[in-house]
């Protein structure tokens, strides 16, 4: 598949993003068609995430949007990794939307941001996934190559 395919689609997405984005989502950088960064905020007053902004990093392969993008939370001095039972402390997100079996080519950067935003909004557990420490220490795989076991369909 040619990279043009991804480029064309991302160009269209970017055009739309520049025009408008839903509340709580902001574009930080999109210098090329390989990596974009966006900030998200939770809009209600969920005590877990109140007054916090989180940084998301999107990486697109040449098969995007047939293949899902790689999406992780990034840790910066003013950006923490949100507490969530499906978000590891290194920023890797375990959600089937971003894996081959749950991804649909109709999804886009904006819809992914919104899904993650609502995943945080709906969460009440102030905890990391089981085995977080071990996973963060041992994992050398890229998120897309990890064989997550989706044991929970509620988020």
Which residues sit at the interface with other proteins, rule CB under 8 A? 1, 5, 8-9, 12-13, 63, 65-67, 100, 104-107
What's the min distance (Å) between Cβ of 64 and other proteins?
10
From the number of C-beta atoms within 10 Å of its C-beta (0-12, 13-18, 19+), residue 73 rates as buried
Residue 145: DSSP 8-state: G
- Of 135 and 148, nearer to other proteins (C-beta) is 148
Q: Single out the residue of 35, 102, 123, 107 nearest to residue 71, CA to CA.
A: 35
What's the min distance (Å) between Cβ of 67 and other proteins?
6
Tokens of 46: 């969920």
- Of 22 and 105, nearer to other proteins (C-beta) is 105
What's the min distance (Å) between Cβ of 38 and other proteins?
19
What's the min distance (Å) between Cβ of 69 and other proteins?
14
Distance CA 112, CA 122 (A): 15
Tokens of 71: 């999406």
Residue 70: DSSP 8-state: E
- Of 12 and 142, nearer to other proteins (C-beta) is 12
SS3 53: strand
Report the sign of the C-alpha dihedral through residues 77, 79, 84, 87, in that order. negative
- Of 16 and 125, nearer to other proteins (C-beta) is 16
> What residues act catalytically?
94
């Amino acid at each position: 598949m040619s990279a043009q395919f991804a480029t064309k689609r991302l160009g269209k997405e970017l055009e739309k993003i520049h025009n408008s984005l839903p509340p709580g989502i902001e574009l930080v950088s999109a210098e090329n068609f390989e990596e974009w960064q966006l900030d998200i905020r939770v809009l209600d007053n969920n005590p877990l995430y109140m007054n916090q902004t989180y940084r998301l990093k999107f990486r697109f392969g040449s098969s995007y949007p047939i293949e899902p993008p790689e999406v992780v939370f990034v840790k910066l001095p003013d950006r923490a990794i949100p507490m969530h039972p499906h978000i590891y402390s290194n920023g890797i997100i375990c959600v089937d939307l971003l894996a081959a079996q749950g991804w649909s080519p109709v999804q886009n950067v904006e819809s992914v941001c919104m899904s993650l935003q609502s995943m945080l909004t709906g969460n009440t557990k102030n905890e990391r996934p089981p085995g977080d420490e071990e996973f963060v220490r041992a994992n050398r795989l890229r998120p897309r190559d990890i064989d997550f076991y989706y044991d929970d369909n509620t988020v």
